[in-house]
Amino acid sequence: MTRQLTLLAQIPMIPPPISDPELEALLQRLEEEGIAHDAAQSEHRRKRLNLETPTARLLQLLILAARRRRVLEIGTSNGFSALWIAAALRRLPGAKPLITIERDPKRAAEARENLSQAGLAPWTDIRIGEATGVVSGLEGPFDAVFFDADRVSAPEQLSLLLPKLEADALLLADNALSHPVEIASYIEAVSQLPGFLSMTIPIGKGLHVAHRFQA
Ligand SMILES: C[S@@+](CC[C@H](N)C(=O)[O-])C[C@H]1O[C@@H](n2cnc3c(N)ncnc32)[C@H](O)[C@@H]1O
């Protein structure tokens, strides 16, 4: 797997699909700051743990290619992945703002600031609280959910979300390769869902992708 990841890292990345130099500069700055910030933090819970840029780019591409219009993100941090998702939603006719959940109010405030700076605040609805409680109060429907919080509670959120998913639904989860034990129950739960095709893409920390197709 290490060799596979090394090879992937050597593939030249396609340019971002969105031509917005200010947004690209902000994303690049946040990526660099996030890496430096996390390297200097010994406490795991204080880290930003942003997606790697190639994973964020793939996430954005999937949302655009599959024309997702009702997206939920679980695990906002300082809004790095939310910026990528919200920038996609802004381009899709009929899309609603991203709903993104974060339990740490300080992180949520940082995310709000970053999204405002990019002009993407109207495309993002940040909900502060424990993911499972927040999810139980959401109405839906959602056509894509990105799980990027604590992984262990993801199966609870998945079961609460099932009645709120559209028939054509995309489920995404990061850390499939970096935290295989923590994410195992989520992957097992997804594998039991009727009608979903799924796989782990070896990019970044491993992106698990599941899709229920509606003819
Ligand atoms: C991996 S980081 C998210 C990174 C973000 N998606 C990005 O790429 O920028 C996980 C975030 O989820 C939050 N989190 C973890 N468990 C949570 C839970 N059960 N409910 C709400 N937020 C949670 C953490 O505070 C942290 O900010």
The C-alpha angle 97, 164, 132, rounded to 5 degrees, equals 85
Ligand 1 neighbourhood includes 104 CB (under 6 angstroms): yes
Q: What is the pLDDT of residue 45?
A: 84
The encoded tokens of residue 144 equal 């894509």
What CATH number belongs to 2-212? 3.40.50.150
Q: To the nearest whole number, what is the mean pLDDT of the chain? A: 92
Ligand 1 neighbourhood includes 107 CB (under 6 angstroms): yes
By CB atoms closer than 10 A (0-12, 13-18, 19+), residue 59 is buried
Distance 166 CA to ligand 1 centre (A): 24
Q: What is the pLDDT of residue 117?
A: 96
Question: pTM for the full model?
Answer: 0.92
Is the confidence at residue 9, as pLDDT, over 70?
no
Q: List C-alpha distances in Å: 204 to 1, 2, 9, 156.
A: 12, 11, 9, 25
147-201 pLDDT tens trace = 999 999 999 999 999 999 999 999 999 999 999 999 999 999 999 999 999 999 9
Distance 212 CA to ligand 1 centre (A): 25
Worst-scoring range by mean pLDDT, 9-13, 78-82, 127-131, 172-176? 9-13
Kindly report the number of other CB atoms within 10 A of residue 116's CB atom. Answer: 13
68-112 pLDDT tens trace = 999 999 999 999 999 999 999 999 999 999 999 999 999 999 999
Distance 22 CA to ligand 1 centre (A): 25
